[in-house]
Amino acid sequence: MSSMITAILSILVGTNAYAYDWSTDLDVYRESLEKNHIDLYHHLNKEEFDQRFDTLKKNASNLTDFQVTVELMRLTHDIGGGIGDGHTAVPLWNSELHRFPIEVINFNGDIRIVGAVEKYVNLLGQKILSINDTPMERIIAEVSAITPFTENKFSGLTRTSSYMMIAEILNALGITETIGDASFTLQKDDNTISTIEIKADLEKNIEQSAYQKMSLKLSQKSDQDTAGLDSLWFSFLPDKNAVYIKFVKYPSFEQMNNFAQNLLEKISKTETRNLIIDMRDNYGGDLFIGLVLASYLNTIDMIDWKKGVFVLTNRKTFSAAAVNTAQYRQLLNATIVGEPTGGNPNGPQDMGSFTLPSSGLLVTYSKRFFRLQDKNSTGIIPDIEVITTWSDYKAGLDKALETVYKVIADH
């Protein structure tokens, strides 16, 4: 094929149409999943998988690179049906992407802006009605069909909210014409409607510290916490006769040992009766590190082990964090409070990965099977379900934590 014809085809189907050898990549994709996945065809049977795979391979040359990527995300999402195998995914972790520099949360179908860089900070709290005149209902439906790490409807809510802000995804789905900017139609709480152009930027250029965010009001780290971790810390709540542990990311084994030893030492000098472990917004890590924490906590005799241990969860409690939540219910007799978890208690778990040779896309897969409950459920269902509403979030009211405080007071 002449360079002139190649150039013309590139213009017709996208400038990146022939950048990667998708035929080779797709073969590696199927072969690697069949070799490594614990039960690849547990939801999407082999006949249907092969049919869809062959169609994608046949049509790949007529798509841009990112359109192929999106279709691969769709197929991989459907391996688990978006309801059971969240660890089999194409997460785009090693892709250079553009993102609209705002963060959103789905409150009962309303997409609210809860974080923004300084340029767009005046948009905080507003509801997105449409992007480039495409209603949010359609955007939610289309993006939710391809999102990675979707194990149930709860993880689906948070993954869709994140991935819909990736400019390449909206462009590949035909929602935007370019990846540079888009027109957002917004609504304030007073029903005032406005439209604003928001410019996407490379993810690597957007610092998390640059975001101004709305959030729930939490306790502050205790000065007795000497472990020095930003994502795992504790605070004493003397008026509640409780210790609050914020566990949002998994540290190393050594760091968890240091943290737990320090916590044990400080609690032992008090008469603390109640224990609150906050697993909200924890996407997971090494579940055995979470068991280290449980082993230390279990040695503290002054805790009310009958009714004084609580675990807070939400839709972002996923993977090892969901597993540890179920284990804390078993091992620590914990009462679960909050939203159902984004991770299921039973099903394919424990992530492995491989990289496609031409595109460099990372593909993850489930390599183990966990069973933490006698009965299957969509997420770990809390003993006390508390769903955060927009009005509570706007006011910074932590309804789940307030519910724990009320239970403690009623002891």
pTM summary value: 0.91
* Domains (range + CATH), the chain: 98-213 (2.30.42.10), 232-343+379-409 (3.90.226.10)
The pairing of strands 274-278 and 242-247 is: parallel
Residue 336's SS3 state is strand
Strand-pair partners of 17: none
User: For residue 18, what pLDDT band results from cuts at 50, 70 and 90?
Assistant: low
Query: Model confidence over 80-111: pLDDT tens digits?
Result: 877 789 999 999 998 999 999 999 999 999 99
Contacts of 264 by beta carbon, 8 Å cutoff, 6+ apart: 296, 297, 299, 300
Average pLDDT of the chain is 93
pLDDT at position 47: 96
Query: Model confidence over 115-153: pLDDT tens digits?
Result: 999 999 999 999 999 999 999 999 999 999 999 999 999
400: closest CA among 287, 294, 315?
315
Strand-pair partners of 333: none
CB 310 within 8 A of CB 276: yes
Whose tokens are 């009211």? That residue is 397
Query: Model confidence over 255-304: pLDDT tens digits?
Result: 999 999 999 999 999 989 999 999 999 999 999 999 999 999 999 999 99
Distance CA 324, CA 290 (A): 6
pLDDT at position 220: 87
Distance CA 240, CA 243 (A): 8
Distance CA 389, CA 393 (A): 6
Instruction: Give the DSSP letter of residue 176.
Output: -
pLDDT at position 192: 97
Instruction: Render the burial of 257-282: b for 16+ CB within 10 Å, e for the rest.
Output: bbbbebbeebbeeeebbbbbbbbbbb
Residues of the chain with pLDDT > 90, as a percent, come to 85
